Amino acid sequence: MLDDIFKRFVNESPVTVMVGGLLERVLHSESLDALFDRTAEYQYTRELLFSSVFEMMSQVVCGIQPSVHAAYQASAPELSVSITSVYNKLNGIEPPTSEALVHYSANSLAPIIDHMESARPALLAGYRLKVVDGNCLASTQHRLKELRPLSSGALPGKALVVYDPALQMALETVCCEDGHAQERSLLDRLFPSIKAGDAWLADRNFCTRDFLCGIESKSAYFVIRHHQKLIVEEVTPLCQQGRIDTGVLYEQRVRIYDAQGVAHLWRRVVLCLDEPTRDGETEIVVLTNLPKETVSAQKIAQLYQKRWTIERAFQELAEQLNGEINTLGHPPAALFAFCIALVAYNIFAVVKATLRHVHGDEKIEQKVSGYYLAHEIRNTSRGMMIAIPAQQWEIFRQWTIPQVAELLVYIAEKIKLKRYKKHPRGPKKNDQNDKRIKQNRMFQQRIFSLNETLKCHLERAGTVGLRIR
Phi first, then psi: give them for residue 283, nearest 5 degrees: -150, 155
How far apart CA 466 and CA 451 sit, in angstroms, is: 23
pLDDT of residue 307: 82
Q: With contact defined as beta carbons under 8 Å apart, do 414 and 11 qualify?
A: yes
pLDDT of residue 108: 95
Residues 6 or more apart from 440 whose CB is under 8 A from it?
Answer: none
Q: Where are the domains of the chain?
A: 4-203+307-417
pLDDT of residue 447: 66
How far apart CA 168 and CA 165 sit, in angstroms, is: 5
Give yes or no for residue 207 having a pLDDT over 70. yes
What letters, b where the CB count within 10 A reaches 16 and e where it falls short, cover 5-29? ebeebbeebbbbbbbbbbbbbbbbe
Give yes or no for residue 464 having a pLDDT over 50. no
pLDDT of residue 100: 96
Helix 83-91 / helix 68-75 crossing angle, nearest 10 deg: 130
Three-class SS state of 307: coil
pLDDT of residue 467: 42
pLDDT of residue 465: 45
The stretch 94-98 carries a mean pLDDT of 94
Q: What is the DSSP string of 216-238?
A: HHTT-EEEEEPPTTS--EESS--
**Residue 263: Cβ within 10 Å count:** 10
How far apart CA 35 and CA 290 sit, in angstroms, is: 37
How far apart CA 339 and CA 322 sit, in angstroms, is: 11
How far apart CA 406 and CA 417 sit, in angstroms, is: 20
Residue type at 359 in one-letter notation: H
pTM (two decimals)? 0.85
How far apart CA 274 and CA 110 sit, in angstroms, is: 40
pLDDT in tens, 25-74: 999 889 999 999 999 888 888 888 999 999 999 989 888 888 888 989 98
Strand spans (E) along 43-127: none
Looking at the chain, the whole-number percentage of residues with pLDDT higher than 90 is: 48
The stretch 170-184 carries a mean pLDDT of 90
Three-class SS state of 253: strand
Lowest mean per-residue pLDDT among 161-165, 321-325, 395-399: 321-325
